[in-house]
Structure 1
Amino acid sequence: MDHKFQASRQWERIQDHWFTEDVAVDLTNFRADQRNYKLSLWDPATNGVRYLKALIYQVGMGLTPQDWARIRRTPNRELGDPTTVRCEGEPLCMDYLQATFEVGFIEREIDLSGARIMEIGAGYGRTCHMIMSNHDVAVYRVVDLRNTLLLSRAYLRKVLDDERFERIEFVQVEELDGAREPEHFDLCLNIHSMTEMRPQTVRAYLALIDETCSAFYVKNPVGKYIDKSMDGHAAGEDAVRMALENGPLRQLLDIHDSEAVQAAVPGFIDGYRPGDGWDCVADGRALPWSYLWQALYRKSGRHP
């Protein structure tokens, strides 16, 4: 039988451009350059969306029935054209995977029925959206900077019905002064924003939580990092310097070293404790990220 074995046009091109005759001369960095990216891996510098979708799919296929229930009760999740995949017939994005994990973590310790909730730095409102869609809360106060409040107000107005939206209060940070009458909240949330605040601002917020809240959920990095390979410091070196000076935890660590991350956890729990009279009742890694940790505190003697 006459067999004809030859390279495809695709691989002829690869050999002309990347797998030339000197491909094996120097192996020092070959697994971090186009030789390996054409042979074994996709280049992460140009395939970020491919890797993000793979991560969303992997995480989504591991959801519990309770995670799925929270997601399915949360409507209009595709507003804004997020990067999504489909798992079990549902469109999933990383933001709402995060939200169902956050709310699930809180639900294990706190009864949210009828709760008064305050969130400091709500972004566009994903966690608020999921809580309001899954629980009959009394009040949900969003505290944020003016321009971010404009976004969260517009987003939540679109995704929630009138009855739920009317329970949300939008408060600019400038309004949190001595003139405002202190109010009690059953729960306060901060998700990945205190790490971007000046240390004195974080201390002021923790004091406010100590004064007005019964429980506090926090999800933030365990420390700072400098790893230019991740994004090439695309925002510039000034942005890196500003990031390093913010937050209550400013020690540098290797965020992709599990032992380094674990060693930083006690400092995280102490650093975000609102005051001496608060107990950390639950903590753990905030999946899927290597260096984000979450903790839930309760004020001693108060059980929301």
Structure 2
Amino acid sequence: MTPQRSNPDTMRQDLGIMFAALAAGPEVYQPSKFWEQLNEQNVAQLEARGLGNFKRTLAQNYFTWVVGVRSPLFQHLAAAMTASDWRRVMWGLPMFSRESDLGLRRFYENQIFTRMVWIVAERVDRLNVMKSLQEPAFGNPFRIFFEGRLISQDLANSVIEMYAILEAHMPAPNDAFTVCEIGAGYGRNCFVFRSFFKHCKYIIADIPPALYVSQAYISEVLPDAKVMQFREFSDFSEIAADFAEADVVFLLPHQAALLPKKSVNYFVNISSFHEMNFAQVAHYFDMVDELTSGNFYLKQWTSFFNARDKMTISASDYKYKNSWHRIYDRTPSTHPSFFEALFKIN
């Protein structure tokens, strides 16, 4: 299945195959009411504006936020800026452009906020990963240039998250290791990992339409990567050969459960466990425990009310395995309403 960014009929057909395969899977992997509603919105946005504009539509349902100056998140980052930081942030701000899809005030708030996130990411970038990174043009990102480079919130946050994921053990650039991310959005973390760690195998396990979008995106922005695209299978032996050869693998969540035990070095979930019910979170923790020989990173809202499913999940509600060793549990530098935690899985 090869995503076609310019063919709506092919997109509908491919999405239909993915949704049918998801519906045929076990109940525990089915989307919550929250995600059923969000998926309807995401598909409508894809059909209305296409893959070519997803960074202006779907991405804002994931982790790209147009944050106003009155927002606690904006104020949190502003308080972290030094005088020299502010000179960099304000220098060379562009003329307002209607192409941005934003009004005048939101345009400048988005420019300033994104530059602040970028500066915070630079502070942790001891390997200088960001020097070789630029926001890919595919998806029509907001045109935010900073010191001669196209940047984004997502690129900066993915660098920050990469260091958090690898904090307990930083692989060498040429090391081979495997990352599995449940709920990867459009694949922003995969792009950063594979851009720096050329021998990293990255597994994206997600539901459509996110799985469809991430598959299209990664195939476009990492053209040299060997991609194992989504397909239906019921036993790992059916895909073992292709899986072994692949750099990036795309699966539905119930397919990820079929991976060999202890085959993942880093298991990741960012901002989606709080949108599931408690039974689903517990099931995914079982999956993490079974598949991971290494570390598990999660980053979630400290407290999140899911109105569609009529439930609230807070940081204290996550029931970790007694056998897991907690490396840290803290507030992320750029998102004070979130928590992030890293565990060593025995």
TM-score range (shorter-chain normalised) is: 0.5 to 0.7
2:10 corresponding residue in structure 1: none
Is 1:88 equivalent to 2:147 in the alignment? Answer: yes
User: Shift of the alpha carbon at 1:173?
Assistant: 2.1
2:278 corresponding residue in structure 1: 199
2:298 corresponding residue in structure 1: 218
User: Shift of the alpha carbon at 1:105?
Assistant: 1.7
Pair 241,122 (structure 1): closer, same or farther in 2 beyond 3 Å:
same
Is 1:54 equivalent to 2:112 in the alignment? Answer: yes
User: Shift of the alpha carbon at 1:77?
Assistant: 2.4
Q: Tell me, which stretches of 5 or more residues in structure 2 are unaligned? A: 1-69, 71-102, 228-245
Q: 2:165 aligns with which of 106, 123, 126?
A: 106
TM-score (normalised: structure 2)? 0.57
User: Shift of the alpha carbon at 1:110?
Assistant: 2.5
Q: 2:308 aligns with which of 210, 232, 242?
A: 242
User: Shift of the alpha carbon at 1:276?
Assistant: 0.9
Distance, in Å, in 1 between the alignment partners of 2:206 and 2:337 is 24
| Other structure's SS at 2:263 match | coil
Pair 139,219 (structure 1): closer, same or farther in 2 beyond 3 Å:
same
Query: 5 Å matches for 1:141-290?
Result: 141-163=203-225, 165=227, 166-176=246-256, 181-213=260-292, 214-224=294-304, 241-242=307-308, 244-245=310-311, 250-251=313-314, 267=316, 271=318, 273=320, 275-290=321-336
1:132–1:164 contact (8 Å) kept in structure 2: no
Q: Give the percent of matched residue pairs that are identical in Structure 1 and Structure 2.
A: 20
Runs of 4+ in structure 1 displaced over 6 angstroms? none
2:186–2:214 contact (8 Å) kept in structure 1: yes
Greater Rg over alpha carbons, structure: 1
Is 1:297 equivalent to 2:304 in the alignment? Answer: no
TM-score (normalised: structure 1)? 0.65
Distance, in Å, in 1 between the alignment partners of 2:180 and 2:110 is 31
Distance, in Å, in 2 between the alignment partners of 1:80 and 1:68 is 27
Distance, in Å, in 1 between the alignment partners of 2:104 and 2:224 is 42
* Deviation digits for residues 198-248 of structure 1 (CA, Å, limit 9, x no counterpart): 2211111110101110210111111125xxxxxxxxxxxxxx512652xxx
1:79 corresponding residue in structure 2: 138
User: Shift of the alpha carbon at 1:97?
Assistant: 1.1
Pair 143,110 (structure 1): closer, same or farther in 2 beyond 3 Å:
same
Distance, in Å, in 1 between the alignment partners of 2:309 and 2:295 is 28
Pair 219,164 (structure 1): closer, same or farther in 2 beyond 3 Å:
farther
Distance, in Å, in 1 between the alignment partners of 2:169 and 2:161 is 12
Greater relative contact order structure (CA < 8 Å, 6+ sep): 2
| Other structure's SS at 1:186 match | strand
Q: Tell me, which stretches of 5 or more residues in structure 1 are unaligned? A: 1-31, 33-44, 226-239, 252-263
